[in-house]
Structure 1
Amino acid sequence: MPAFVDRFLEPFKVRLRTTFAGQSEGVPEWEDALENGDDAGYFPHTSATWHVHGGMTPIAAGIKALLLQALHLGALAGVAEHSDYRADPLARLAGTIRWIFTVTYGDTAAAQRACDYVRRRHEPVVGTYIAATGETLEYSANDASLSHWVHCAFAEAFLTAYEDFRGAIPLPPDALPGESGADAYVREWSVAGTLMGVESPRSRAELSAALLQYDDDAPLYGGPRVREVVHFLKNPPLDPMLLPGYRLLFLAVVNSLTPRQAELLELRQWPRFLRPVSNGLARFALAVVQLGLLKVGPSELAARRRLRRLGVLPSSDSSAELPR
């Protein structure tokens, strides 16, 4: 990149690093630490998981995951009553990013430690909420049913974000007979569910069926608390330089929801024939973000250094030049 362009982009880069890494300079220590470890981790570098969690689409996926998770009144109660997301949303974002990338790119010990840490943090997150039926129900952040919903919403969000903005997920070399790239991703990422104590879907069809079952069983609901979360996600306290791109992503994410999800969230979708336009605008926003970040993120680069040290990747691996 020419030096004058890099100088022009520097303020934008600083704001991006502050938003996603929690610091304006350098790489967080936990990302560099992914270079350490004694094995290749739960997900091979050729896995569908590395494809889906790499690049820029996780930004859009994160927005969708938060919208979907808010539709479960138990999960929403835990966030509303035990989280400071309004006061310090970037800290919560940085924590989520750390968990995702540690499980994705770390060795098995690091992934296990990350999940154990989250489960310990969840232990005091308990309380009651009013269900859609009017019943008062108890919730616990470590409850298997709530964790299952969060896992399914996460997998659905990351899967569809990749497909909407990048296309079909490449089939990994170790795919099972008859699997698609999407099936492979859901199967692989079920490992994260297991680490969090959840029995998770293992194919795209199982994931779709699980999400439909939540609709049939009616634990998903709108209302004032959901409306408050949606308002926050529509108008987050981001740096003004980042807001235009964020709003393009938010629009595309809303258009990717099912009609039922959009109705519960009280969000208006574009007509179906116009949605390719919003996807194109979102791709442009993600491309601009990529100008301010590395082609390959620090977590993946650290993991590749570990894999080279372990002999899984050749020493000539040119990961910095990999397309994203």
Structure 2
Amino acid sequence: MGLIDTWKTQLRTTFTDGDPTIPQWQFEFEKGDDAGYFPVGSAVWTVHSSITPTVAGIRALLLQALHPGAMAGVHAHSSFREEPLGRLANTIRWIFTVTYGSKTAAREGSEFVQRLHTRVHGTYIDSRGDERSYAASDPDLIRWVHLAFTDAFVSAHAAYGGPIPGGPDQYVAEWAHAGQLMGLEDPPRSEAELRSQLAAFDDELTISDQVREALRYIRRPPLPRSQRLGYRVLFAGAVATLEPRHREMLGLRVPSLGPVPLPIRTTVRLVLGVIRLGLGPEGPAEAAAKKRLRRLSGDADSSAT
């Protein structure tokens, strides 16, 4: 295996929790009897099939960590210390299932995650210093995680991607389906609603030793040497898209030379282009979903004749 092939394999395993082969579940999206929630060319399909979610995932983890209830669940029940990339792989699987799968697959995938959430509960110290109980199924925590993901996808794509069909409002409205699948009532359906619901959490956010520990893992995950420089660029790109108030709480800064900001956008886009080159123009999950859609389209044409 040549150096390029080795690099491509290492790159792919970063998103599959160390598995050098393409996970079988990505091919399962060819199955199903409906078109799913998001057609090809929709806002969600456009954003998620791009490479900007690579930055969005980092940004979402940073933002989610600021809620002490969400952080307590990750700290006590996640294996992020031993397998930090495993959590990433599981999250990618759910997002891909909702994005590319049939409606049945999306519902079943979300129900599976909800069942896992029933095991996640405990106590945490809130921003006022009081002890509170939590469960991953709490409506407030479900909302916070949904808001953090939605905000991350919109912000990362706005900074480093192309246009979104219908703009950010359309993306937020479409991705509301994902929130509803996870049991969220009244998810935001516009960018303004997203900002308003995020702001409502401001008084609950806090920094703690748990957040600082998680931040160390997010900043320096156990990647192959060939990916570390690129990840540092993507991390800086994620930090640059955070709201100033969140960035300040995390103790992070936009990279600069004194008062002069570094050209983060250009550098991030360059790294994303290299990742796209390594992964290929279309992932197996997207390709499998398109096969299902072509089959369903053919079935519809046959029934009409």
TM-score range, shorter chain: over 0.9
Structure-1 separation of matches of 2:146 and 2:233: 26
CA contact (8 A) 2:73 2:122 kept: yes
Whole-angstrom CA distance in 2 between matches of 1:229 and 1:313: 49
CA distance in 1, matches of 2:70, 2:291: 37
Which residues of 2 match residues 131-146 of structure 1 at below 5 A? 131-146=126-141
Give distance in 2, aligned partners of 1:304 and 1:24.
Answer: 24
Question: 2:198 aligns to what?
Answer: 211
Query: Percent identity among equivalent residues?
Result: 47
Q: What letter corresponds to residue 249 of structure 2 in structure 1?
A: L
Tell me which residue corresponds to 2:292.
Answer: 306
TM score, norm. by length of structure 2: 0.93
Contact 1:304-1:313 within 8 A present in 2 as well:
no
Measure, in 2, the Cα distance between the counterparts of 1:41 and 1:68: 29
CA distance in 2, matches of 1:130, 1:24: 37
Which structure 2 segments of 5+ residues have no match? none
> Aligned letter for 2:288?
A
**Per-residue deviation at 1:118?**
0.3
Structure 2 counterpart of 1:195: 181
Question: Which of 282, 285, 294 is the matching residue for 2:280?
Answer: 294
Task: Find 1:236's aligned residue among 221, 228, 235.
Answer: 221
CA deviation after TM superposition for structure 1 residue 38, in Å: 0.2
Task: Report the secondary structure of 1:55's partner residue.
Answer: coil
Written as runs of structure 1 = structure 2, the 5 A alignment for 1:155-304 is 155-171=150-166, 181-199=167-185, 200-215=187-202, 218-270=203-255, 277-304=263-290
In structure 1, C-alpha distance between the alignment counterparts of 2:84 and 2:297, rounded to whole Å = 39
Match for 2:108 among 104, 108, 113?
Answer: 113
Aligned CA-pair RMSD: 2.0
Note the alpha carbon deviations across 1:246-305, whole angstroms, 9 max, x for none: 000101111111111011111122469855711111111111111111201111100000
Unpaired segments ≥5 residues, structure 1: 1-5, 172-180, 316-324
Instruction: Compute the displacement of 1:313 (Å).
Output: 11
Could you list the structure 1 runs, at least 4 aligned residues long, displaced by more than 2 angstroms after superposition: 21-27, 269-276, 312-315
Query: How many equivalent pairs are there?
Result: 299
Amino acid of the residue matched to residue 53 of structure 2? P
The CA distance in 2 between the partners of 1:207 and 1:44, in whole Å, is 23
CA distance in 1, matches of 2:20, 2:213: 33
Distance of 1:119 and 1:71 partners within structure 2: 22
Q: Which amino acid aligns with 1:88?
A: E
Q: Contact 2:41–2:165 at 8 Å: present in 1 too?
A: no
Alignment of structure 1 residues 67-82 onto 2, 5 Å: 67-82=62-77
Q: Which moved more, 1:15-24 or 1:239-248?
A: 15-24
Which of residues 28, 48, 52 in structure 2 aligns to 1:57?
A: 52
Deviation at 1:230, TM superposition (A): 1.1
